[in-house]
Amino acid sequence: VTRWKNFWASFSKFYVYILTLTMVLLLIRLFNYKEHLKNNGIVEGEHQVSETNLFDPSDGQLVEYIRENWIHSPSVDVLDISEPLDHDFSQFGQSKVIDKLLNAKTRGFFIECGAMNGKDLSNTLYFERFRKWTGILVEPHPESFSDLIKLKRNAYAANILLCPSNEQRKLPFIYQSMRPGYSALKDINMMRDDDIVNAYKLQIQCFTVYTLLRAVGTKYVDYFSLDVEGAEMAVLKTIPFDKVYIKVFTIEFKFNDGHVKDTRKSLERLTEFRQFFKQTGLYKEVGIIPENLKGQLGHDVIFERID
């Protein structure tokens, strides 16, 4: 009996020692994790970033932090939408054009930046409902994002901006409550002075495309719909095409300040996109959407990866 008592006493001390050591190690790891976030510009708990820190978009701890704090998981609920499953919600038929280009692919993956409320003018809802896709929806506008979450789409969602560089920071976001689809990301050169005066001004956190893809665990994207009101080129330049595979892009090149459409500036943007994708050596231009505009320029340009 005495031997058993001594054994249990020794075992209890050993168990307490192991438990204490484990807790200490966990606390040390947690402390180091928080210090790592602070050193990289993130303030834990407040979901903020500094405005100047450079960062590695593939940093594992930052990716984990983004996954846990900034990304809403896909909903498991059935979408309450009355339109037929094959209804195209996009503005100029982008969805069905891309669907044809991808040979009616099922269970693909998309990114839609400029997702608005997740339904109106959506380039990706068609794929989610009719082709069983999922993806990432990015929308910085606070009111639109709230409506997007209420819609309960089967896709990841993030209330952020896409970074125009590998600087971890907040960016100025200017929006109007009555015009949720029109805002400025990188600068305000696409907004008129009277619009700016009457707009709300926020500082919104940004992450790169690559960081978001790592956070949701994929490197392959079938379709990327990019509409960020003027910062498209800067966002494209952050994408490491040697690390991610994006099959098809639609990119808005139409210059529109909400009042006047500028053909010259639209052509400049289109030329810039063409030069960028040509220099990658990975993409070809497929077409302009919408087609057959009787001499008008169009709205989006399509690029498809060729390898």
Give residue for tokens 């960020």.
228
| Residue 182 clears pLDDT 50, i.e. is over it | no
pTM of the predicted model, to two decimals? 0.78
Q: Which two tokens stand for residue 115?
A: 């997702």
Q: Which residues does residue 173 pair with via DSSP β-bridges, in sequence order? A: 202
Instruction: For domain 73-305, say whether CATH 3.40.50.150 is its number.
Output: yes
Give the mean pLDDT of 258-279: 88
Q: What is the pLDDT of residues 87-145, one digit of tens each?
A: 999 999 999 999 999 999 999 999 999 999 999 999 999 999 999 999 999 999 999 99
Higher model confidence: residue 147 or residue 4? 147
In this structure, the chain runs to a length of: 307
∠ at Cα 146 (290, 78), nearest 5°? Answer: 75
CA distance 254 to 12: 72
pLDDT by residue (tens digit) across 220-253? Answer: 999 999 998 778 999 999 999 999 999 999 999 9
The better pLDDT of the pair 191, 79 is held by 79
Compute the mean pLDDT over every residue in the chain, rounded to the nearest whole number.
Answer: 82
Q: Name, of 54-68, 164-178, 180-194, 286-300, the range with top average pLDDT.
A: 286-300
Work out the average pLDDT over 54-62.
68
Cα dihedral 50, 56, 57, 60, rounded to 10, equals: -100
Per domain, the residue ranges of the chain are: 73-305
- Provide mean pLDDT across the span 28-40: 49
